[in-house]
Chain A
Amino acid sequence: MMAEGIFIYLAAAIVILSVLVITRSNPVHSMITMLVLFFHIAALYVTLNAEFLAAIQVIVYAGAILVLFLFVVLLLNLKEEMVARRYIGPWPLGVLAALGLLVVIVLSLKSFIPGPSGVFTTEVVRAETNTKVLGQILFTEYLYPFEVVSMILLVAIIGAIVLAKKRLRN
């Protein structure tokens, strides 16, 4: 009962905060709302027994990525941004599409049957701790995806420099 209550609070807060993030006209207000949003997502991970992800959510998202966002916001001309025309004219259409998708998802989830849970049940993860279990899986079974991630990060480095470096030369 308690767990459901916490989930409902977190889920509702995440949805409301997300809407707030995209509807604020001042980007700095959006950023602050997003910070609160990230903390709620971290709390959601905690209730899902994924403490490592919760910590990462706080360190990487609330820490690093939000700072990046703030820098980008400061790159903008805030005064112009706040009065600029927003390209969200047909938003009722978007809401309609989203509601349609919601109905489809709710209807199909009614008959959802969870699959087999495998070796890592809630109890095992609790006993071993989330980080340890994640490490065991990531560096053995999922070693190939792990190495691919390094390539994606490399492309991100190149991309950031190519797109934003003032004088790109050797």
Chain B
Amino acid sequence: MKILTEMPDVTALMPEIVMTCLALVLLMLDLFIRRKEITALLAIVIAAVVGFFLTGSSGTAFSGMFISDGYSSFFKLIFLVSLVLSVLISIRYIKIESVNFGEYYSLMLFSTLGMMLMASAGDIIVLYLGLELMALSLYVLAGFLRHDTKSNEASLKYFLLGAFASAFLLYGTSMIYGLTGTTNLKAIAHYLAANGVAHNPAVMLSVILFVVAFGFKIAAAPFHMWAPDVYEGAPTSVTAFMSVGPKAAGFAVFGRVFLTAFGGLQVDWAGILIPLAILTMAVGNILAISQTNIKRMLAYSSIAHAGYALIGLIAGGGNGVASMMNYLFIYAFMNIGAFGVVIMLRTEGFKGEEITDYEGLAKSHPLAAALMLVFMFSLTGIPPTAGFVGKFYLFMAAVAEGYTWLALVAVIFSAISAYFYLRIVMYMYMKEPKAEVALSTSAPHGIALAVATCAVLLIGVLPSGIIELARAAVAGF
């Protein structure tokens, strides 16, 4: 019997440990902080400190349960970026919604911690716990508008379907554990290859169950049902946060489990993921057309983007995964940016969630309309924005791996998506304003939008930096 009696080496875990300690300190400090702007500022400082520790961390800990490599670090960068941007756009917004409580920021930190644990998970048990930590915080955040029945409904729906998805994950885990006698991802891959059980139908069942569980988290059709209701009901800043971070975390574990544990079965699971990706793009892009609420429209758009990103995973290999990561990184900026503009329309006594509210915005508020234009162009994938770059690398990776027809399908769906993205632009620039729409602005909000816009345009013009970073990150996978 192995009895561990000395401190394990936790240097690889430093970012997470720092994050945990500081988040706990913030939770305690918040009890004595009156002005919640300070809490928000401290949350951003914490994200920066964790980002600083991230650069030096690599290696494994706890006998392979925790893996810190380029792949996990890149995803953690996405989480931290989306955390900081979401916090910045929240400060004014949660005041307007009169839920200006410090717990909001603490829960965001805990959720991000859960995502970080997921990205670094080398063992399915840890993966599951990270996922629960992320999801539990999000259930609470989705219901943060306590007196709004839509928010309550969003929280409840998200919780019920999330618990359902967790059950699938655990069932798949139990299946693979029974077959291989381990939950360590590398050990699973090793056992499957060494003992010739890789093509056992029970392994395939386990793969399918994992696809269902992760499909829920990334909101891929046909497991997307929760997304429109939750995105619409949740506070807009939380919607922005959870359409980016948790989705990226879902892709992180998708890639980690399928490329490590089921790496030898790529042909089989790619066969499951291809129809899933096509269905996801179809459902997301086609149903988005008929939406009248912008949050619901962006929810369907986020479903569609999960479909695009899946193409990177299907293509597999260093290039495919790198293009997926690159896409998720870009998606963080353009999607939070778009939600940032949506939040600006929310003022005291005015919801500003209808698409018709954008009529004539270019006349009354030209700058906000211009920003929305940039984000809508980027979400559509029109050059010279980052969205084009992301899609370009994704489709190139697919073509390189012989999935030319899949890339073509994705291009067709991108063309369909132009209809509903550019409709917003059309409303803003070609219609007369119906009523006077006020904007709620603040300095942090402006910073977030400026950062998002600069990132979208810069990556659009100079794309090589990020894709090289992603490729380097995947190299050590």
* Residue positions of A touching B, CB distance < 8 A: 104-105, 107-119, 136, 140-145, 148-149, 151-152, 154-156, 158-159, 161-163, 168, 170
CA–CA, A116 to B204, complex, Å? 19
Instruction: Find B62's partner among A144, A161, A162 (CB 8 Å cutoff).
Output: A144
A162 near B129 (CB under 8 angstroms)?
no
The distance from the CB of B327 to the nearest CB of chain A, in whole angstroms, is: 29
Q: Which residues of A contact B41 (CB under 8 A)?
A: none
Give the nearest-CB partner of A136 in chain B. Answer: B1
Q: Which chain B residue has the least Cβ–Cβ distance from A170?
A: B31
Q: How far is the CA of A32 from the CA of B71 in the complex (A)?
A: 49
Which residues on the B side are within 8 Å of A158 (C-beta)? 27, 103, 106-107, 110, 140
Is B413 close to A, CB under 8 A? no
Q: Is the CB of B125 within 8 A of A142?
A: yes
Binding site of A, secondary structure by majority: helix, strand, loop or mixed? helix
- Name the interface residues of B53-102: CB closer than 8 Å to any CB of A: 61-63, 65-66, 101-102
Q: Looking at the complex, which one of A111, A145, A151 makes contact with B113 (CB distance below 8 Å)?
A: A151
Query: How far in angstroms is the closest Cβ of chain B from A27?
Result: 16
Contact surface of B with A, Cβ cutoff 8 Å: 1-4, 8, 20, 24, 27, 31-34, 61-63, 65-66, 101-103, 106-107, 110, 113-114, 117, 123, 125-126, 129-130, 132-133, 136-137, 139-140, 143-144, 146, 155, 177-182, 191, 197, 200-202, 204-205, 208
CA distance A136 to B2 in the complex (A): 9
- Asked whether, in the complex, the Cβ of B65 is within 8 Å of the Cβ of A115, the reply is no
Q: Which one of B24, B140, B197 lies within 8 Å of A159 (CB-CB)?
A: B140
Closest to A120 in B: B1
Q: Which residue of B106, B140, B178 has the most chain A CB atoms within 10 A of its CB atom?
A: B140
Determine whether the beta carbon of A148 is less than 8 Å from that of B143: no
Closest residue of chain B to A150 (Cβ to Cβ) is: B20
Q: Which residues of B contact A107 (CB under 8 A)?
A: 201
Contact among B32, B113, B155, B205 with A108 in the assembled complex (CB-CB below 8 Å): B205
Tell me the interface secondary structure of chain B in the complex.
helix
Q: How far apart are B454's CB and chain A's nearest CB, in angstroms?
A: 34
Can you give 10 contacting A-B residue pairs, CB < 8 Å?
A108-B200, A108-B201, A112-B178, A114-B178, A115-B179, A115-B181, A144-B66, A145-B125, A145-B126, A148-B133
* Cβ-defined contact, B205 with A155, below 8 A: no
B20, B101, B123: the one contacting A162 at CB < 8 Å is: B101
Q: Report whether B202 and A156 are in contact in the complex, using a CB–CB cutoff of 8 Å.
A: no
Separation of A115 and B62 alpha carbons in the complex (Å): 23
Given contacts A144-B61, A152-B129, 6 further A-B contacts (CB under 8 A): A108-B202, A113-B200, A115-B178, A140-B3, A152-B132, A162-B144
User: Are the CB atoms of A115 and B117 closer together than 8 Å?
Assistant: no
